[in-house]
Amino acid sequence: MKKPARLLTVLAANAVLAVGALSAAAQEKVVQLPIRTDGPKSLDPAVGSTTYDNMACAQIYETLLTYKYANPYELEPLLLTEMPTTEDNGKTWRFTLKQGVFFHDDECFPGGKGRQVVTDDVFYSLKRLADAKNQLKNWWLLKDTIEGFDEYKDEQNASVDAGGVFDYDAPVSGFRKIDDQQFEIVLKQPVYRFLYILAMFQTSIVPMEAVEHYGEDDFAFNPVGTGPFILDEWIPKKSLTADRNPNYHEVLYPAEDQWSRDDRRNRLHRAAGQAVPFVDRIEFTMFVEDQPMWLRFQAGDIGLTQVPAEYFEQAFDGRTKRLLPETRELGVRHQVVPLLDFIFRGFNMEDELLGGYTEEKRALRQAINLAIDLDEFSETFYQGNTIQYDGPIPPDLEGYPEGGTAPVSYRGPDRERARQKLAEAGYPNGEGLPPIRFYTSRGGNNAEQVEMLKRQLAEVNIQLDAQLVDFSTLIEFTNLKKAPMFGFAWSSDYPDAENNLALFYSPNESPGSNHYNYKRADYDAMYEQILTMEPSSERTEIYIRMRDMLIEDVPYIGSMARTRYYLINPWLLNCKPTERYYGWFKFLDVDDSKR
């Protein structure tokens, strides 16, 4: 049912209330934003792994490189004076740190005054990913990449196991310090993705003083970085607030010529060349359920919202996908964001029932896949704003199958073939097959999605035992290999299919990114080959072979890629939502007269 009048009434009424509530405190610029789950699990970048860890950490810490706000597919320097340079085709990279970048003022430093970032901080921060005390869930990013780094990891963790300490001062041959501002990193061999890794929040630069002062466990609650905001308070699963960093180094809003015609039409260029951040405070609220988030947006209490599917037609024409005139008249605008998205339901390949690589085990997973109708999920829960496709490589990346359909496919619905595969698996008509234990996060419309999944599987006599848990609990269960079947989404860290194919590389098994615990030597060999290859038709052919191997083995059910619709309240300025990276909140501004 369309309810544009409801949106109009609530926004108008609350605009009056907001004006009446203004006080002296309104002199401070505050931006209120949502996080659409129970939020981050850790504020330590070496330990964090989820989108929501990223969203929070990116406000407090910074990486050597980042993505451009006006063009979030292109890298640019953040803590560096310029992009890294190489004279040997990508084996040795030289870096120059930006002058005048200081860590946040904090009691961990003498006199509580933050000091300048130096080369040793970069090496220290990367070494933290090798320390088993930090769970090694992000080690996959640098494994087999930097000269001498794998050996360093093994030696130091062996020392800890023998009763010694992890020596952060021990040398790594691939880390070459020139001086406090210049250094080189030598790779084992050229690795195409290396610079992308340096833009990921897990490689954020942190000071040793803070980690040692607070301890590894408490550092996550007392983060110290170089970012535009300083943590004020984090109430896990509820809220996170941070204040503007008064000593933030010079970062300028993108120049006018970087913005597209549409961006300029939305006046995104108007702050060009100005120093950021513009706001004094950023306040995140976690929303496990979508309805409170939607109502808070309607009330004008938060600056933007992803549009939940069940509320889509309150703001958009369901057929044309255009913003309703009634919504536009309120000054609300929208942004359409196609995602490099991989929505899946995965299997733990070590599970006694669902895992394994025999023909019978493959047939069971193929049967489950064939019983599921992703088109029905898309129309019911995503307003049809998804692309269904075979394999783990999303649209617009090399290796994506033409038209979304690969030569080998077990994408349903094909219930007759599903029953045939069940018989091949040893469960004719589903007889003897125990209920399948499935974990997914609560909130949003996930409960309704689970009911549809149950119904679709029941049509071929497959029973589902569904467990809806907090998102942080879901990640914990998959990290510990306790979830036989599980569902969430992966958004590509960088625009290369290698990132998605890494999800099935056996050394990345849980708690790494390979939550499926997929292990095949021939797949691993191809993955190790593509790591050192530049984009080429030859590399794409290997991507396709890897893709089709995964389709045949079915370590997951999928795939779907969403197009995200955002609504932006008129008081939130400079806003061009992207899910490519989360350092863009520092560019936001507010106009309280429009609340």
Q: What pLDDT, in 10s, does the model give residues 135-180?
A: 898 998 999 999 999 999 999 999 999 999 999 999 999 999 999 9
Positive or negative, the Cα torsion across 431, 433, 434, 436? negative
User: Which CATH homologous superfamily contains domain 341-563?
Assistant: Dipeptide-binding Protein; Domain 3 (3.10.105.10)
Contact by Cβ (8 Å): 553, 520: yes
Contacts of 271 (CB under 8 A, 6+ apart): 253, 278, 573, 574, 587, 589
Residues 329-344 have a mean pLDDT of 92
Residues 344-373 have a mean pLDDT of 96
Contact by Cβ (8 Å): 156, 62: no
CA contacts within 13 A on the Cβ side of 552: 13
Contact by Cβ (8 Å): 339, 389: no
The DSSP secondary structure of 105-127, one letter per residue, reads P-TTSGGGPPPBP-HHHHHHHHH
Residues 552-563 have a mean pLDDT of 92
- Tell me which H or E stretch contains 419: helix 415-424
Please report how the helices 208-219 and 119-128 are oriented relative to each other, as an axis angle in degrees rounded to 10.
Answer: 20
Contact by Cβ (8 Å): 556, 374: no
At residue 475, the pLDDT reads 87
Q: What pLDDT, in 10s, does the model give residues 93-118?
A: 999 999 999 999 999 999 999 999 99
Please report how the helices 290-298 and 4-21 are oriented relative to each other, as an axis angle in degrees rounded to 10.
Answer: 60
Residues 387-396 have a mean pLDDT of 94
* Beta bridge pairs of residue 344: 488
At residue 493, the pLDDT reads 85
Contact by Cβ (8 Å): 329, 322: no
The DSSP secondary structure of 493-545, one letter per residue, reads SSSSTHHHHGGG-GGGBTTSSBTT----HHHHHHHHHHTTPPS-HHHHHHHHH
* Confidence category of residue 20, pLDDT binned at 50, 70, 90: very low
Residue type, 344: F
Q: Is the pLDDT of residue 92 over 70?
A: yes
* Confidence category of residue 86, pLDDT binned at 50, 70, 90: very high
Q: What pLDDT, in 10s, does the model give residues 564-590?
A: 999 999 999 999 999 989 999 999 999
Cis? peptide before 472, omega within 30° of 0: no
Residue type, 166: F
Q: How many helices (H) and strands (E) does the chain have?
A: 18, 19
DSSP state of 253: P
Cis? peptide before 413, omega within 30° of 0: yes
- How far from 173 is each of 123, 185, 430, CA to CA, in Å? 11, 9, 57
Residue 174 burial (10 A CB sphere; 0-12, 13-18, 19+): buried
At residue 9, the pLDDT reads 46
* Confidence category of residue 444, pLDDT binned at 50, 70, 90: confident
Task: List the one residue out of 328, 208, 342, 288 whose CA is nearest residue 473.
Answer: 288
At residue 400, the pLDDT reads 95
**Which tokens is 504 given?**
């099935």
Q: Is the pLDDT of residue 207 over 50?
A: yes
Q: Is the pLDDT of residue 2 over 80?
A: no
Q: Is the pLDDT of residue 393 over 70?
A: yes
At residue 26, the pLDDT reads 53
Q: What pLDDT, in 10s, does the model give residues 22-81?
A: 444 458 999 999 998 889 999 999 999 889 999 999 999 999 999 999 988 899 999 999
Contacts of 304 (CB under 8 A, 6+ apart): 33, 34, 297, 566, 567, 568, 569, 572, 575, 577
Q: What pLDDT, in 10s, does the model give residues 217-246?
A: 899 999 999 999 999 999 999 999 999 999
Q: What is the mean pLDDT of the chain?
A: 92
Residue ranges of domains in the chain: 64-213, 341-563
Residues 9-31 have a mean pLDDT of 58
At residue 14, the pLDDT reads 53
Q: Is the pLDDT of residue 4 over 60?
A: no
User: Which CATH homologous superfamily contains domain 64-213?
Assistant: Dipeptide-binding Protein; Domain 1 (3.90.76.10)
Contact by Cβ (8 Å): 424, 363: yes
